């Protein structure tokens, strides 16, 4: 089928999806979970084909070992996927929630109510667990989905896609709500289909995300990179600073919320830097420092301008000594990626200034940047992390896959009565019941 | 100054704006209101220059009479503008509101808090009241603003711009927070500055809005057109249907929330159509009907496929007879513009189906489409109406000029403690205090 035809079908299905109740969407998800359990063996066989092909690619040096690792499914991982699908079914329904309710006049009420966005397109890397996750979140939130996974996971993706499509359609979910494309050129075509696609969620490398952001007019939810900072203030508790800076860099350096740069106030640099340098040295972290850092840490490499703009995703950190919180904030707002930045301080006024003036999606006081995550924030499920300012920002939960509509319920009301010399006034009294009350039989 | 230089200055100022308190933003607005009062005479003189130039253009047929009308300021209109600026100052502060608060663990809390978007660019038609309105809303919400007004209002815009810039900077608002460009080619340049501009709000003709939507990757908040429908259901109260369909078309046909198409159930068409046709005839409304409509209203013009896609903004309406609510919903989702659509029915189940399945930003039951408006909805102020699905949808209040950031406050917490075999569990307990509590001295 043509790409545009798939997108059209997704659009049509998305309109029909609005008819399903929360229970119907949940039953379909539970049926999918059961089917994944039932067909576990077959899924693992399909995954085995991907792994074998990837092993050949690895030998020829065309992919890296981590790619191969991420590709492999096991019985344990499959059980995790089944649990994940069931946990999405168990989440509260994100649709039909009243977020604003106002009596405009006697018998005339307006409600703002959450509803699906429409058609989501998700472009993701070669990991077999992404397809079941994003498909579950889409169905839960009443959205149609177009999937494009990494080619290396082709067989695994096809297996999950087939189970999702067949089981959900059997349970009455509108045919065509889930679509898949496999070729890279098809992505380029998708990027031009703003008539049929409402939102693109790219998950993967910085280059992939940047390519998508620069080649579509469809809104993109995501982040290209995480250049996260920890600022050790002059009023920092040095014990906490050492703990946090170690965790933020070393605990899992390959992820977007790991720290890439430390900014250290000159008044505490002499005490703090030798201590963190010793821990970093033992953990194998390379330090790239500004001249003042290198006066304290003799074996630090010289940091260049480029270092302040670099997301290492590795055991490397850049360190700069600053003379004020203003300099730290300015550095972050200049070189950061608006992802996650932290201050270590016992001074509440400086903490307040930092969280207000740093223009990032997550700002932290005395905590590791690594906490920036939808699950840890208690959102229930994470759709992705957005560094854009429009729609959803920071770790995005199910709510990010919804929008709202206004529902007005009257009794023959016309605007003419509220205009002119004999105009009736509006009451504008907040009400606190659910919108469904207004349409109760 | 170069366009890009203005945008850069706006970005820098936007970062400094976050330091201002709500009181400081309000004082600046009140000072502006006073200055507009004080300099009223000068503003009217500047406006007079615009009007004189426009009169010459009107004589040469280069602008229309309504454009000239909208351009004219009077003492009364100026008083309205002063009142509007003061009323924006009186609105509750949209910034710093806690919208989500969760205890992750003992002493580790996460808050989602409203904050400014950054730099807004507003492109608007030749009306001298838009600049003071959008500038007030931007300052209230802590955003920097780049303004491009219609050329015909050049002198009036310069006058208001000067007052806003001088008075606010005098009161400590960061220099450069308000910028203006005047030439059409500068708009094209603005559309490419995604590095410095976070949101574009176009207000004006369909062609202007479409041009902007199609030529930028910056998010656009607005609507190109309002093809609004009223569906008269088989279970409609005919009195209400007549009242609503008359109001929706005739009360003010030149606006986006006026109705352009009536869909009438075949079971009530025989009773309803002659009555509304008689009222429309007296009001000078031209009816363009489907074949079944023309069997009932003999003098109706034949509607073409094009009519269903047309926003007349005039005393013309297209009418179609349908055999079911499904057909009505499908027509609206196919030909509508996702702006505002209404059903007239006494059947609560049909009302429920209509508001759920019609994919528009405002859906109404037994009320005129003309109610779709931020002031009428009780939002306090209207930034615009959005038919997009991302960020804000429908009439947009001050909230639409804000985004959120996550603020995490810990006490030396690190992620390593929450992972591995000895992992501490997260508490994830909802808390209900304001985020500022966590940073109280």
Mean pLDDT of A212-235: 94
Q: Which residue of A has its CA nearest to B390?
A: A391
- What's the pLDDT at A380? 85
- In this predicted structure, what is the pLDDT of residue B400? 94
Contact status of B299 with chain A (Cβ, < 8 Å): no
pLDDT beyond 80 at B187: yes
| Percentage of chain B lying above the pLDDT 90 cut | 93
Q: Where in chain A is the domain with CATH 3.40.605.10?
A: 3-97+118-221+394-400
Is the minimum CB–CB distance between A394 and chain B shorter than 8 Å?
yes
Q: How many C-beta atoms lie closer than 10 Å to residue B65's C-beta?
A: 8
Cα(A4)–Cα(A358) distance, integer angstroms:
42
Q: How many CB atoms lie within 10 A of CB A434?
A: 14
Distance CA B289, CA B262 (A): 9
What kind of architecture, by CATH, is found in domain B228-378?
Answer: 3-Layer(aba) Sandwich (3.40)
Number of H helices, E strands in chain A: 14, 17
pLDDT for the residue A440: 87
Q: Is the pLDDT of residue B264 over 80?
A: yes
Binary contact (A365, B413; C-beta < 8 A): no
The dihedrals phi and psi of B424, each to the nearest 5 degrees, come to: -75, 140
Of residues B67 and A415, more confidence is placed in: A415
Contact B112/A at CB under 8 A: yes
3-state secondary structure of A140: helix
Mean pLDDT for chain B overall: 95
Whether residue B394 has pLDDT greater than 90: yes
Distance, in angstroms, between B104 CA and closest chain A CA? Answer: 7
Q: What is the mean pLDDT of residues A156-181?
A: 97
pLDDT at B441 over 80: no
Q: Nearest CA to CA, how far is A128 from chain B (Å)?
A: 23
The confidence score (pLDDT) of residue A359 equals: 96
Check CB contact under 8 Å for B394 and A403.
no
Give the architecture (CATH level 2) of B3-221+394-400.
3-Layer(aba) Sandwich (3.40)
Place of tokens 């176009």: B202
Cα(A439)–Cα(B364) distance, integer angstroms? 11
Q: Any long-range contacts for A27-31 (C-beta under 8 Å, 24+ apart)?
A: A27/A171, A28/A139, A28/A167, A28/A168, A28/A171, A28/A172, A28/A173, A29/A85, A29/A86, A29/A88, A29/A89, A29/A136, A29/A139, A29/A140, A30/A85, A30/A86, A30/A89, A31/A167, A31/A168, A31/A170, A31/A171
* Cβ atoms within 10 Å of A441's Cβ, excluding its own: 7
Question: What whole-number distance in Å separates Cα of residue B171 and Cα of residue B168?
Answer: 5
pLDDT value of residue B381: 84
Q: What is the mean pLDDT of residues B213-225?
A: 92
Contact B349, B237 (CB under 8 A): no
Quote the CA–CA distance of B374 and A112 in Å, as a whole number. 12
Distance of alpha carbon B56 from alpha carbon B68, whole angstroms = 10
Q: Which value, to the nearest 10 degrees, does the dihedral of the CA atoms of residues B262, B265, B267, B273 take? A: 0
**Rounded Cα–Cα distance for residues A145 and A137 (Å):** 10
Opening angle at CA A137, ends A136 and A140, nearest 5:
85
Listed by number, the residues of chain A in 237-256 with a beta carbon closer than 8 Å to a beta carbon of chain B are 237, 239-240, 243-244, 246-248, 251-252
Distance CA A365, CA A231 (A): 10
Is any Cβ of chain B less than 8 angstroms from the Cβ of A431? Answer: no
Q: What residue ranges of chain A are covered by domains with CATH 3.40.309.10?
A: 228-378
Q: Is B27 on the interface with A (CB under 8 A)?
A: no
What is the model's pLDDT at position A73?
A: 95
Question: Which pLDDT band, with edges at 50, 70 and 90, does A56 fall under?
Answer: very high
Give the Cα separation of B358 and B364 in Å (integer): 10
Left, alpha or beta for B107 (phi > 0: left; psi -120 to 50: alpha)?
left
- Could you tell me the pLDDT band of residue A67, with boundaries at 50, 70 and 90? confident
pLDDT of residue A441: 78
Cα Dmax for chain B: 83
CB of B264 within 8 Å of a chain A CB? The answer is no
B431: closest CA among B105, B94, B95, B96? B105
Q: Quick one: DSSP state of residue A381?
A: S
Question: pLDDT over 70 for what percent of chain A?
Answer: 100
Q: Predicted ipTM?
A: 0.93
d(Cα B186, Cα B180) in Å, to the nearest integer? 10
Burial class for B259, CB neighbours closer than 10 Å (0-12, 13-18, 19+): buried
Query: Measured between alpha carbons, how far is A409 from A262 in angstroms, rounded to an integer?
Result: 55
**B91 in contact with A, Cβ within 8 Å:** no
In a mutational test of the A interface, the residue from B376, B387, B419 whose CB has the highest number of chain A CBs within 10 Å is B376
Which helix (H) or strand (E) segment is A305 a member of?
A: none
Q: What does the pLDDT average to over A239-267?
A: 97
- Edge-to-edge, what's the strand order for the sheet holding A119-123? A178-181, A144-148, A119-123, A199-202
Residue intervals in chain B for CATH 3.40.605.10: 3-221+394-400
Share of chain A above pLDDT 90, in %: 93
State the angle between helix axes of B75-90 and B40-59 in degrees (0 to 180), rounded to the nearest 10.
120
Query: Which residue do the tokens 């003992």 mark?
Result: B106
- The secondary structure of residue B416, as a DSSP letter, is G
Predicted confidence (pLDDT) at residue B317 exceeds the cutoff of 80: yes
pLDDT value for A240: 98
CATH (residue range A3-97+118-221+394-400): 3.40.605.10
Residue B328: partners with Cβ closer than 8 Å, 6 or more residues away: B229, B231, B233, B263, B265, B322, B343, B354
Which among A108, A372, A441 is the nearest to B349, CB-wise? Answer: A441
Whether residue A257 is predicted with pLDDT greater than 80 in this model: the reply is: yes
Nearest CA in chain A to B109: A377
Question: Which residue(s) pair with B301 in the sheet?
Answer: B288
Q: Which of A248, A361, A428 sits opposite B406 (nearest CB)?
A: A361
CA distances from A72 to A102, A162, A252, B272 (A): 53, 19, 20, 66
pLDDT in tens, A96-131: 999 999 999 999 999 999 999 999 999 998 889 999
**Can you read off the two tokens belonging to residue A379?**
């959102």
Cα–chain center distance at B359:
18
Residue that has been written with the tokens 């699905």 in this structure: B389
Q: Express each pLDDT in A341-381 by its tens digit.
A: 999 999 999 999 999 999 999 999 999 999 999 999 999 88
Contacts of B216 in chain A (CB under 8 A): 217
CA dist., res. A286 & res. A250, Å (int):
11
The answer to whether the CB of B426 falls within 8 A of the CB of B105 is yes
What does the pLDDT read at residue A202?
95
Mean pLDDT value across residues B235-248: 98
Q: Which of residues 327-366 of B touch A (CB under 8 A)?
A: 333, 342, 348-349, 351-353, 355-357, 359-366
pLDDT band at B58, cuts 50/70/90?
very high
Q: Which helix (H) or strand (E) holds A359?
A: none
Q: Angle of helix A40-59 relative to helix A75-90, nearest 10 degrees?
A: 120
Torsion over CA of B195, B200, B205 and B210, rounded to 10 degrees? 50
Answer for the pair A258, A310: CB distance below 8 angstroms, yes or no: no
Q: Which of residues 151-210 of B touch A (CB under 8 A)?
A: 198-199
Beta-carbon pairs below 8 A across chains A and B: 255
What is the C-alpha separation between A424 and A422, in angstroms, rounded? 7
Query: According to the model, what pLDDT value does residue B287 have?
Result: 98
What is the distance, to the nearest Å, from the Cα of residue B439 to the centroid of all Cα atoms in its chain?
35
Q: What is the pTM of this model?
A: 0.94
What mean pLDDT is predicted for residues B89-95? 96
Torsions phi, psi of B193, nearest 5? -95, 55
- Residue B18 half-sphere exposure, CB side, CA atoms within 13 Å? 26
pLDDT, position A81: 95
| B13 touches A at CB < 8 Å | no
pLDDT higher than 90, residue B267: yes
Euclidean distance between CA atoms A258 and A165, whole angstroms? 37
Residues B400 and B392: beta-carbon distance below 8 Å: yes
Burial class for A56, CB neighbours closer than 10 Å (0-12, 13-18, 19+): exposed
Flag whether pLDDT at A266 surpasses 90.
Answer: yes
For residue B355, give the nearest of A248, A378, A407 by CB distance.
A407
Q: Which residue from A417, A130, A133 is spatially nearest to B376, judged by alpha carbons?
A: A417
**Average pLDDT estimate for B153-178:** 97
């Amino acid at each position: 089928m043509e790409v545009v035809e798939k997108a059209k079908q997704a659009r049509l299905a998305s309109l029909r999806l609005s008819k399903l109740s929360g229970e119907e969407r949940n039953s379909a998800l539970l049926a999918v979970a059961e089917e994944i359990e039932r067909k576990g063996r077959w899924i693992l066989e399909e995954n085995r084909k991907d792994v074998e092909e990837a092993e050949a690619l690895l030998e020829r040096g065309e992919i890296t070992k981590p790619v191969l690792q991420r590709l492999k499914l096991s019985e344990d991982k499959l059980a995790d996927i089944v649990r994940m699908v069931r946990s999405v079914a168990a989440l509260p329904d994100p649709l039909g929630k009243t977020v604003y309710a106002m009596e405009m006049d006697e018998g005339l009420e307006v409600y703002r109510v959450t509803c699906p966005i429409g058609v989501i397109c998700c472009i993701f890397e070669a990991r077999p667990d992404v397809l079941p996750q994003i498909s579950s979140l889409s169905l839960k939130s009443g959205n149609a989905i177009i999937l494009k996974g990494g080619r290396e996971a082709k067989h695994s993706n096809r297996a999950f896609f087939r189970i999702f499509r067949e089981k959900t359609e059997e349970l009455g979910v509108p045919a065509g709500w889930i679509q898949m494309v496999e070729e890279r050129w098809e992505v380029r075509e998708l990027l031009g289909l703003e008539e049929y696609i409402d939102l693109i969620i790219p998950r993967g490398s910085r280059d992939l995300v940047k390519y998508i952001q620069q080649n579509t007019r469809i809104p993109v939810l995501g982040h290209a990179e995480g250049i996260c900072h920890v600022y050790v203030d002059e009023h920092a508790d040095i014990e906490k600073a050492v703990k946090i800076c170690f965790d933020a860099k070393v605990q899992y350096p390959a992820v977007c919320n790991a720290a890439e740069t430390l900014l250290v106030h000159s008044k505490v640099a002499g005490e703090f830097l030798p201590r963190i340098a010793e821990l970093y040295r033992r953990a194998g972290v390379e330090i790239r420092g500004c001249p003042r850092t290198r006066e304290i840490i003799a074996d630090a490499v010289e940091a260049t301008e480029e270092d302040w703009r670099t997301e290492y995703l590795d055991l490397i950190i850049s360190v700069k000594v600053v003379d004020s919180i203003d300099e730290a904030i300015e550095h972050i707002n200049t070189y950061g990626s608006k992802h996650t930045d932290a201050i270590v301080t016992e001074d509440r006024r400086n903490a307040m200034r930092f969280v207000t003036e740093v223009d990032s999606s997550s700002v932290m006081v005395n905590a590791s940047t690594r906490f920036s995550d939808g699950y840890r924030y208690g959102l229930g499920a994470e759709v992705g992390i957005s560094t854009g300012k429009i729609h959803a920002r920071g770790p995005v939960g199910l709510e990010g896959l919804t929008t709202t509509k206004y529902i007005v319920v009257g009794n023959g009301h016309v605007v003419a009565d509220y205009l002119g010399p004999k105009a009736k006034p509006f009451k504008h009294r907040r009400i606190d019941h659910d919108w469904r009350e207004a349409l109760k039989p």
